[in-house]
Amino acid sequence: MYREVDCIKVDGDSFELEKHPVIEEMPLAVTVNGRHALTAMISNDMLREFVIGFLYTEGIIKDIDELESIKIEGSNACVLTENPFKILVSKKTVLSGCGGSMSYLDIAKLPEINSGFTVNSETIRNSVKEALDSQLHVLTGGIHVVALYNSKGKVCVVEDIGRHNALDKLIGYALEKDIDLSDTYVICSGRISSEMVRKCLTANIPVVVSRGATTTLATDIAKSRGLTIVGFVRSKKMNVYSWGNRITDIPDSVSEALQVNEE
């Protein structure tokens, strides 16, 4: 996922020609039923999982069984689905920094979370510390980490130059492994955006956690559709922005007060 690149390292008055590990980035062109549907700038692993996850979170497929075949050669992925006339409405370019985005979002049309999953704050803190201990990030400084956990612990950790790409890879992995996503939570190294929230809603993942920030649109969507957002998980601190009743050690009175404010 990385290679050594020549650079001049500057340290005060010192200038040395050295090598530095740099994350690899590649374009992946995805064709669905003969039509170009997507070009993603992506890290070069788990490409099959990315394609499955992206098609699922974009609504191209409703179930993995709808896929007839996925053939990946170099920077091209060719997909056939059960319905040969089903294609993406418009072409997308998913950039490594931001991922897919929507120019218009009707919150009322997004799916609602259907899950009885709960977790306590200590488990969240411990899992964030474990999941985000990425040697690749330490080495290169250029990778996002997204991890999937359930009540038994860590399920999968994915790294990519884009956090949206990583989430799609993770969801694709879970679909192939037939993992019940309603009994899981996601940890990410970067900001929780509206697009990250939308993907979690589509996959019925009830809790999304980050050591970083979220956005107002992300919290508005989460409050409306039953998703728990937890941000700024650091040391013993965290911010719970929506549906605090899924965090079991938060007093009922506090969770209820947040719920009233959400309504």
Residues designated catalytic: 98
b vs e for 74-91, b when ≥16 Cβ sit within 10 Å of the residue's Cβ?
eeebbbebeeeeebbeee
Q: Which residues pair with 4 in a beta bridge?
A: 21
* CA dist., res. 38 & res. 251, Å (int): 45
Strands 35-42 and 92-94: parallel
* CA dist., res. 178 & res. 155, Å (int): 12
Give the distance, in angstroms, between the CA of residue 59 and the centroid of all CA atoms in the same chain.
16
* CA dist., res. 181 & res. 63, Å (int): 13
Give the 3-state secondary structure percentages of the chain, helix then strand then coil, rounded to 5. Answer: 30, 35, 35
Q: Which residues pair with 158 in a beta bridge?
A: 146
Please, are residues 155 and 149 in contact by the beta-carbon 8 Å criterion?
A: yes
Residues near 14 by Cβ (< 8 Å), separated by ≥ 6?
Answer: none
Read off the tokens for 17: 């020609």
Half-sphere exposure of 34 (CA within 13 A, CB side): 4
Element containing residue 74 per DSSP (H, E): none
